[in-house]
Chains A and B, each alone.
Chain A
């Protein structure tokens, strides 16, 4: 009934392969939405009652009822700030280089493919790079800064790709105009390209940081600790992060720890959704302004 009215509304054939296709599409969407709903429902059902002010302000504990996520969310926050400080200048700089300076030759084509490929390298491999390079060779140990370097390398390709797109969308007549008035390349970059592509770059940065905050595997590979009952004092302090704490709680057998994990997940999902939605909102506004 629902299908046939829906089909009529869109003025489509209600028989033959077309109908089969549409029914399959409906089923696919129902499957995806049902799974998403089940996922959110089970996590809220398990974790909602554990959420409290105390949960956010307590250190982890052997007693599941007393345990909280203070050290892990603070660790995640520091980690994000450091990661952003390292990755954003490098990523935006690289994007400017490829869009405005690089000549079209085989080497730069290779670099382009290289960045695309790096974006697809599994995150755990970045973790092993971080383990060998930052933890061992540079002997930063299992510190905040080692974690931040690792995550920065991980999100760098994403920042480069999205920043390049934002820079490419800056209208060329403005740049040509500035150059015609005698501005140098660096002045054009400073006064025209960066301000105009800023919202687009910011969107990419927010999305990549929201990816970094949920990354668990690379931090496990560099050996981030799971039990930390103090706040990091410097960038060389050992640290834990929200997803690490959640993983630790999931892998314990007691069901009360699972509820803690679910509560931690609610906090983690809230942060990533908030970041993602602000990025999507920013992009839509930016798109509308540009198309005017």
Chain B
């Protein structure tokens, strides 16, 4: 009798933990279900062809156009500028921290990066709009008050800690024997860093880039504050643009009733955002799993 109740109790506890474990699956299904449901409703009114190939995005005008391309170019433009800054500097810093810096230097640099990573994104938005843009306007007089380059640069700084710490993990996972063998054969530090460690950790570094790109594409407040709210099919970094995320913010700030086309359009662009970031994340996960030696 005692044994029986005892086993039931264990079983119940296991079920409770199992429910917690399954919960993350419900979140994924919930996100996919809701976004794709509203998107289907959106495509009952707007043709998929227009959505994918029209170069005008004017859902709030009287003549409505629903071409997502301007939002995509805007998103990629800002993310591209950010990656151009964060990729090279991030990898260089990570190599330095891994192969050159001693324990003391690492103990100082790691927390600095963690602090940088902990600053809320709205703070970066303030910085981009009210400090970086006015500064850049002194250098480039034609720069508009809202533009892609200023949030792009600031976003580069924002995702830098992520690139550094993920690449640092990847370099740290390279087996010590490989390094020591290269040193024993008379290689210099530079040769070990660039001919042994970097190639060996390449998949991890690419995973870091993928996660950083996905973060840059999904970043919201920085672009909503500093990049403008004007969809433009352009790659000119000096003029106002709109990204997928800042469009969602623009609609959310207004009072858009449920069931209107504008309400559904935020889910349609969100599904584009979700699919892009999902693909990058899954590739990154796969690469990181293949990293374990």
Q: Among B27, B111, B214, which residue has its beta carbon within 8 angstroms of that of A280?
A: B111
Is B218 a contact of A123 with CB atoms below 8 Å? yes
The answer to whether B1 has its CB under 8 Å from any CB of chain A is no
Q: Which residues of A contact B92 (CB under 8 A)?
A: 21, 24-25, 28
Q: A116-B285, A120-B277, A153-B27 are in contact. Are A25 and B130 (CB under 8 A)?
A: no
Q: A122-B217, A280-B114 are in contact. Are A42 and B131 (CB under 8 A)?
A: yes
Interface string of B213-255 (1 = CB under 8 A from A): 0110111110011000000000000000000010011001100
Is B258 a contact of A136 with CB atoms below 8 Å? yes
Is A217 a contact of B245 with CB atoms below 8 Å? yes
A277 to B126, CA, bound (A): 23
A275 to B111, CA, bound (A): 13
A275 to B112, CA, bound (A): 15
A125 to B268, CA, bound (A): 11
Within 8 A of A (CB), among B55-90: 88-89
Within 8 A of B (CB), among A81-138: 89-94, 96-98, 100-102, 111, 113-118, 120-129, 131-133, 136
Instruction: Choose, from A33-41, A48-56, A232-240, the stretch at the interface.
Output: A33-41
Instruction: Choose, from B13-21, B45-53, B173-181, the stretch at the interface.
Output: B13-21
Q: Which residues of B contact A170 (CB under 8 A)?
A: none
Q: Which residues of A contact B23 (CB under 8 A)?
A: 90, 94, 156
Q: Which residues of A contact B119 (CB under 8 A)?
A: 39, 214, 269, 272
> Number of contacting residues on A, CB 8 A?
90
Q: A21-B92, A28-B89 are in contact. Are A246 and B122 (CB under 8 A)?
A: yes
Is A93 a contact of B21 with CB atoms below 8 Å? yes
Is A160 a contact of B24 with CB atoms below 8 Å? yes
Nearest-CB residue, chain A, relative to B253: A220
Interface string of A187-223 (1 = CB under 8 A from B): 0000000000000000000010011011111001101
Q: Which residues of B contact A67 (CB under 8 A)?
A: none
Is B24 a contact of A43 with CB atoms below 8 Å? no
Interface string of B89-104 (1 = CB under 8 A from A): 1001101100010000
Q: Among B18, B215, B277, B286, which residue has its beta carbon within 8 angstroms of that of A97?
A: B18
Is B10 a contact of A185 with CB atoms below 8 Å? yes
Is A220 a contact of B120 with CB atoms below 8 Å? no
User: Which of A128, A215, A247, A269 counts the most B-chain CB atoms under 10 A from its CB?
Assistant: A128
The answer to whether B185 has its CB under 8 Å from any CB of chain A is no
Q: Among B25, B194, B249, which residue has its beta carbon within 8 angstroms of that of A124?
A: B249
Q: Among B28, B35, B95, B249, which residue has its beta carbon within 8 angstroms of that of A114?
A: B28
Q: Which residues of A contact B143 (CB under 8 A)?
A: none
Instruction: Choose, from A11-19, A57-65, A173-181, the stretch at the interface.
Output: A11-19
Is A133 a contact of B34 with CB atoms below 8 Å? yes
Q: Among B95, B112, B221, which residue has its beta carbon within 8 angstroms of that of A217?
A: B221
Interface size class of B (residues with CB under 8 A): 35 or more
Is A13 a contact of B120 with CB atoms below 8 Å? no
A22 to B93, CA, bound (A): 10
> Smallest Cβ distance from A209 to chain B, in angstroms?
11
Q: Which residues of B contact A90 (CB under 8 A)?
A: 20, 23
Is B245 a contact of A247 with CB atoms below 8 Å? no
The answer to whether A261 has its CB under 8 Å from any CB of chain B is yes
> Smallest Cβ distance from A33 to chain B, in angstroms?
8
Q: Which residues of A contact B31 (CB under 8 A)?
A: 121, 125-126, 129
Q: Which residues of A contact B112 (CB under 8 A)?
A: 33, 36
Nearest-CB residue, chain A, relative to B134: A42
> Smallest Cβ distance from B38 to chain A, in angstroms?
7
A194 to B149, CA, bound (A): 48
The answer to whether A77 has its CB under 8 Å from any CB of chain B is no
Q: A35-B157, A122-B245, A129-B34 are in contact. Are A261 and B126 (CB under 8 A)?
A: yes
Is B28 a contact of A122 with CB atoms below 8 Å? no
The answer to whether A147 has its CB under 8 Å from any CB of chain B is no
A17 to B193, CA, bound (A): 12
Nearest-CB residue, chain A, relative to B255: A223
Nearest-CB residue, chain B, relative to A109: B289
A16 to B13, CA, bound (A): 63
Q: Which residues of A contact B95 (CB under 8 A)?
A: 21, 25
A185 to B11, CA, bound (A): 10
The answer to whether A162 has its CB under 8 Å from any CB of chain B is no
> Smallest Cβ distance from A108 to chain B, in angstroms?
8
> Smallest Cβ distance from A276 to chain B, in angstroms?
4
Q: Which residues of A contact B205 (CB under 8 A)?
A: none
> Smallest Cβ distance from B129 to chain A, in angstroms?
7
Q: Among A113, A129, A207, A247, which residue has its beta carbon within 8 angstroms of that of B285?
A: A113
A28 to B131, CA, bound (A): 20
Closest 10 CB pairs of A and B: A122-B218, A214-B120, A93-B20, A97-B21, A217-B220, A28-B89, A120-B281, A97-B17, A94-B20, A18-B190
Known: A128-B35, A185-B13. 11 other contacts (CB 8 A): A25-B95, A42-B130, A116-B285, A120-B277, A120-B281, A122-B217, A122-B218, A123-B218, A125-B270, A131-B252, A243-B122
The 8 sampled A-B contact pairs (Cβ below 8 Å) are: A31-B89, A93-B20, A96-B17, A116-B285, A124-B270, A125-B273, A127-B252, A262-B126
